[in-house]
Amino acid sequence: MFLNVEEIIARAAPLAWPVYLYNSIGSTNTEAIRLISDTDYTAPFLVLAEQQTTGKGRRGRKWISPFAQNVYFSLVLQIDGGLQQLEGLSLVVGLAVMHSLRALSVHGAALKWPNDILVGHKKIAGILLELVGNPIDICHIVLGIGINANMQASMEIHQQWTSIQLETGFPIDRNYLIAKLWLQLQDYLTRHKTFGFIALQEEWERNHLWQGKAVSLIADVNQIDGIVLGVDRYGALRLNLDGVETIYRSGELSLRLRDDSRVRLWE
């Protein structure tokens, strides 16, 4: 079944933001950024595609985006509350994605700091936030979300991955998933805007797969070994390094489990 804007909007009522659906596009995030600078388009709006030819992942990676199989979703919001509105935002988006997956019977969906969604060691969804403009003035944020929905095979993904269909054994209606995700996001973004990340910090930690685990944090050629304590009120990672609590902000960091050869492909 193909994506259908009317169906998504009907299911995501009362949300009534414009939806722009493309058959094939380079990247829904890049297209969203292009539309922000076009005065005919006013945020909030949602960009969707059946296929991305140059889908973007974190840290310069490609996001494999085959036609009519998965979800490529970029929600554009205007941010007018300054930098504090961005604190922990990507982690909150992760919670919304996780709950949408669980609502589709992917009960094992959980979080990996900063914003991966895994089932066990396998990645099922990823999040790429892009900021446009000056965060201390008016700016826009693009919440880019990729979910492996009905994909069953790919020779191109060089890490452990799964999809909703692989987990449940059934193909899903992507229109339903998108509506669910959109409603979840609306709920979590409202709570985040009203109360800040601090109100969601404990829920995030409860769903963090690697809470209390021995990990290595990789930044370029540097490796830091520690135990995951959790996240702070801004969404930064708290690690125990030989008895000393140390805080790491997101950015270009990558986290790996130690003593577990199955996750080597996360590099």
Residues 109-168 that bind ligand BTN (CB under 6 A): 116, 126-128, 144-146
Asked if 184 interacts with ligand BTN (CB under 6 A), we say no
The stretch among 27-35, 165-173, 184-192, 196-204 that binds ligand BTN (CB under 6 A) is 27-35
The stretch among 5-13, 52-60, 157-165, 247-255 that binds ligand BTN (CB under 6 A) is 52-60
Q: What is the DSSP string of the chain?
A: ----HHHHHHHTTT----EEEESSBS-HHHHHHHHHTSTT--SSEEEEES-BSS-B-GGG-B----TTTSEEEEEEEEE-S-GGGGTTHHHHHHHHHHHHHHHTT-TTEEEETTTEEEETTEEEEEEEEEEEE-TTSSEEEEEEEEE--S----SS--S-B--HHHHHSS---HHHHHHHHHHHHHHHHHHHHHH-GGGTHHHHHHTBTTTT-EEEEEETTEEEEEEEEEE-TTS-EEEEETTEEEEE--SS-EEEESS-GGGGGG-
Asked if 174 interacts with ligand BTN (CB under 6 A), we say no
Closest separation in Å from C-beta 199 to ligand BTN = 25
Asked if 28 interacts with ligand BTN (CB under 6 A), we say yes
Asked if 69 interacts with ligand BTN (CB under 6 A), we say no
Q: Which of 29, 85, 150, 175 binds ligand BTN (CB under 6 A)?
A: 29
Closest separation in Å from C-beta 211 to ligand BTN = 20
Asked if 74 interacts with ligand BTN (CB under 6 A), we say yes
AA letter at 11: R
Asked if 94 interacts with ligand BTN (CB under 6 A), we say no
Asked if 97 interacts with ligand BTN (CB under 6 A), we say no
Q: Which residues contact 154 (CB under 8 A, 6 or more apart)?
A: 64, 66, 161
Asked if 34 interacts with ligand BTN (CB under 6 A), we say no
Asked if 27 interacts with ligand BTN (CB under 6 A), we say yes
- Give the interface size with ligand BTN as a residue count (CB under 6 A): 20
AA letter at 184: Q
Measured from the CB atom, is 28 or 184 closer to ligand BTN? 28
The CB-nearest residue to ligand BTN is 126
User: What residues line the site for ligand BTN (CB under 6 A)?
Assistant: 27-29, 52, 55-58, 61, 63, 72-74, 116, 126-128, 144-146
